[in-house]
Structure 1
């Protein structure tokens, strides 16, 4: 194996894999270095329950990435050449209340409004008018997602020049709870949207979260929610094939100890075994802001301290996986074929109590699950006739006041607490179904926030969004104003990629923007690699 490359990529999460694929396509000699035995970071699928059952252990639903030109225009030929396929189930996202009523968000605005009207005709009309405005704003949200962000100040000034932009600015100053309560009259309609916003892992009571209702609705009614055929891992594997097709190299089970700089220029990396790899042009690193000073020497102390102060999300999640004989069958059969089902208490007090518990460091006292049933539309994920279940609930990043703990304890989490809560989650979930009993369960597994942090340093304390989607860590302030343009000041040739960078957590293909910045800094003709 070579020891000198044009670009070294530290970490093989889907963001950095995306960057590596674009750089390899542009003609750079690229090498990707990953500590785990598989590539993907949060975009992985593993057999964690029983042989033949393939589970998405982190990300599972795909919507933002579908608007990214890398997928929408197949810039990297992932679909046309490297085998990437998506499934679009009949149903997308529904809230199932514990009294067996439900409402849903679908690409079809008409169908969505029909489900809202079951509870309130007025709310359905309000929502239709709101979405007709947000769809007009859609390009405002999507155009800037997949390129380096504008500095926050000029972006806000630009918005403030039009009534529509001023409305968006206003949403940035409000909480989602405040906006939703003002817009809708029926409690269950409010709960549907509050729970949806909460999936961004910032408590919807927090100021600034109002903007997410605009972005979510603008995208949800113009872009299908999908899943990756064969599991989310297939996305990462397609990116890997693209990198190798263009001459790139991928090394797994390879730990990077530090990034090497000399005279303010990045020259390579040192591996855990002491080996040194050289980078002629750049190093792209999945280095969480909290760890920047640990991996790179000689950086400005104030910049490093500012990065360490980046705020994590309000809460994380405990994710459980189940190998089943039969697919779950709901007491409310209308939701059986939906891609994602949100189990929600039938009153606002129960929903808010669960969110408040998690923000306060407690296990949620109310069931607040997100469920995916991929084998309903993708039988390749399980042995013939069998099924998988993806079941997660919000959970605190740091678990407090747990009393005596057995076994390994990280941030309050132990395997005993995790597994006990997993069983409680299934007990609660079974109340929504007719067949989720012990006879239907073959095997199960769970990951706590502590487990997620161990899997990826990008998930500090288990924050799957890298850092919180707070308004002060948004656009040209993510993760900090000095680091928001991906290049690290004081370490020429070092660039950052990961969920803690713009456009944020979830599966976005955000590494496209990092690649755009690198190619632009190099004076390359970006139009030869991507559509701009």
Structure 2
């Protein structure tokens, strides 16, 4: 980057921040990215956290948007060194009764797995194959995205609306006949904080389900940090710069325009044209901006901002692959542990009541099955999380080990002998995840609740849903803006496009 003040400062080097920086740099802006931590990536990082030689993803680990997102595809991350790996099965959903519905990029393999629900799956997969690019453009563009929506066509819009207006349970029971198939879409929705019985909750799980059948739950060779490295390469090759260990303490405004940031050490850095914040919305509006710069209505909205569920994550070093009872799970990138619709509903009720789930729903990742760089020869990593309350009575110190044991017992139900394979484990309670990445408030992975009342024009607050803020020159480009969670880069790209539009 040339000496002097940059055109744009991006606060936060998570995937959205780096995507915003890449688009601005491609447009000819001089860009400086500031990251509070010692390394970039936010929740998209990889470290040896159990034993030497075992590489674990700290946050995000599987990337259905990685090869399909209209924000990432133009950046050609494979051309920047990123290598994607795929398992034969993308998402397996076993239960103790021996059933297992599985989703793969091979439509016929999925149809065989679903048995009598195979024809229903062929219809869904066929519709998705015909509409995927238009659908992703519509869902990931700046709202209201009328042009992309209209290009879907009236019949496709009607079909999408039927899904969007359904609960996960309603859509599943209307679409599938078997309990095994019915637990897939509601189970995938619990990647966020959307339960099976939530109104208008089906769309989250539906999108993850169909993306598993197209982009798949892809694994970056070498770890999630490889995505961060590829994005950073795209920023730096156009002259952008990254500065780590630079925690922003305040955003400075003059005459109604954001013009600079002040670091924790007191240093002030000016931006000639724009500041893009890859930050939690409450952090931006309540901590980094002086209160007189933020409308009282926005301050009130941020004080009552609804975060998503907390997350309790574990990493294991294993002396062999997880011994799943069902063969599909032994070949799956991701295994979901949720026995039935009623099991998922009971789990959701317990978390919302502030209790630790008795029978935790789990998202379980098996990266080392397809990426041998993750573990020493003959050994494996395992990655898993459950959704939990953000805080519990008495704090996490007294409950960490107990709930970790409960998670291992849950896996043991589906993979007898699992505990005997464990060499080491690492536990991440919600407060640990927030300490790792300040945007994960209370262990919330999603940038706020995915409830329909927090989407579209209400994310994060009306009328500031199009990445602009009450201050000219300041933009929100994090997952707290539309379309929310997922490593798709769309929040950052759309914020960058807003900058370019305003700057002519």
- TM-score range relative to shorter protein: over 0.9
Counterpart residue number, 2:427 = 446
Shift of 1:147: 3.1
Shift of 1:156: 12
Counterpart residue number, 1:147 = 141
1:146–1:166 distance in 2 versus 1, CA, 3 Å: closer
Distance 2:166 2:416 in 1: 41
Distance 1:387 1:156 in 2: 43
Q: How does 1:299-448 map to 2 (within 5 A)?
A: 299-313=294-308, 315-345=309-339, 347-399=340-392, 402=393, 405=394, 409=395, 414-438=396-420, 440-448=421-429
Distance 1:294 1:26 in 2: 31
Post-superposition Cα deviations, 1:92-111, rounded to whole Å, max 9, x if no partner, equal 10101112321101122222
Post-superposition Cα deviations, 1:181-208, rounded to whole Å, max 9, x if no partner, equal 2222322221222212222322221111
Q: How does 1:71-150 map to 2 (within 5 A)?
A: 71-72=72-73, 75-80=74-79, 82-117=80-115, 121=116, 123-150=117-144
* SS at structure 2 position matched to 1:273: coil
Distance 1:420 1:463 in 2: 21
Shift of 1:164: 3.5
Q: What TM-score, normalized to structure 2? A: 0.92
Q: How does 1:26-45 map to 2 (within 5 A)?
A: 26-45=27-46
Counterpart residue number, 2:227 = 235
Shift of 1:458: 1.8
Q: Does 1:270 align with 2:262?
A: yes
Pick from 176, 189, 201 the counterpart of residue 197 of structure 1.
Answer: 189
- Identify unmatched segments of 5+ residues in structure 1: 524-532
Q: How does 1:479-494 map to 2 (within 5 A)?
A: 479-489=460-470, 491-494=471-474
Are the aligned partners of 1:159 and 1:169 in contact in 2 as well (CA < 8 Å)?
no
Counterpart residue number, 1:47 = 48
Distance 1:108 1:224 in 2: 10
Distance 2:366 2:205 in 1: 25
Counterpart residue number, 2:62 = 61
1:360–1:111 distance in 2 versus 1, CA, 3 Å: same
1:101–1:218 distance in 2 versus 1, CA, 3 Å: closer
Q: What TM-score, normalized to structure 1? A: 0.88
Counterpart residue number, 2:450 = 469
Q: Does 1:226 align with 2:218?
A: yes
Counterpart residue number, 1:289 = 281
* SS at structure 1 position matched to 2:75: coil
Counterpart residue number, 1:6 = 7
The range that moved more, 136-145 or 511-520, is 136-145
Alignment coverage as a number of residue pairs = 499
Q: How does 1:150-169 map to 2 (within 5 A)?
A: 150=144, 162-169=154-161
- Identify unmatched segments of 5+ residues in structure 2: none
Shift of 1:470: 1.9
1:450–1:155 distance in 2 versus 1, CA, 3 Å: farther
Post-superposition Cα deviations, 1:209-236, rounded to whole Å, max 9, x if no partner, equal 1223543344333323211110001111
* SS at structure 1 position matched to 2:464: coil
* SS at structure 2 position matched to 1:5: coil
Counterpart residue number, 2:237 = 245
Give the aligned CA root-mean-square deviation in angstroms: 2.4
Distance 2:402 2:5 in 1: 49
Are the aligned partners of 2:357 and 2:388 in contact in 1 as well (CA < 8 Å)?
yes
Post-superposition Cα deviations, 1:456-503, rounded to whole Å, max 9, x if no partner, equal 2322221110111122222333222322111112x1111111111112
1:384–1:127 distance in 2 versus 1, CA, 3 Å: closer
Shift of 1:137: 4.3
* SS at structure 2 position matched to 1:196: helix
Shift of 1:13: 1.0
1:351–1:270 distance in 2 versus 1, CA, 3 Å: same
